[in-house]
Structure 1
Amino acid sequence: MNKLVSYYNHSKEELSKVIFPIKEQVRSAYMSVFVVVTVITIFLALVDLIMSFTLSSFIG
Structure 2
Amino acid sequence: MDTDPISAVEAVVFLALMLAIVKIAVDALEAAPLGFQTQADDYIEDAADAAGGVWEDYT
Pairwise TM-score range, normalised by the shorter structure? 0.5 to 0.7
Q: Which has the larger radius of gyration?
A: 1
Number of the residue aligned with 1:29:
11
The count of aligned residue pairs is 35
Distance in 2 between the 1:26 and 1:49 partners?
A: 35
CA-CA distance at 1:40 after TM superposition: 0.1
Partner of 1:16: none
For 1:22 and 1:48, locate their aligned partners in 2 and report how far apart those are by CA, in whole Å.
39
Question: How far 1:39 sits from its partner (Å)?
Answer: 0.1
Unaligned 5+ runs, structure 1: 1-18, 56-60
Q: Name the one with the larger helix percent.
A: 1
Which residue of structure 2 lines up, in the alignment, with residue 39 of structure 1?
A: 21
Instruction: Indicate the SS of the match to 2:28.
Output: helix
How far residue 20 of structure 1 moved from its aligned partner, in angstroms, is 1.2
- Please give the TM-score of this superposition, normalised by the length of structure 2: 0.53
Larger relative contact order, structure 1 or 2 (CA cutoff 8 Å, min sep 6): 2
% identical aligned pairs: 6
Please tell me the root mean square deviation across aligned C-alpha atoms, in Å. Answer: 1.5
Gaps of 5+ in 2: 36-59
- Using structure 1 for the length normalisation, give the TM-score: 0.52
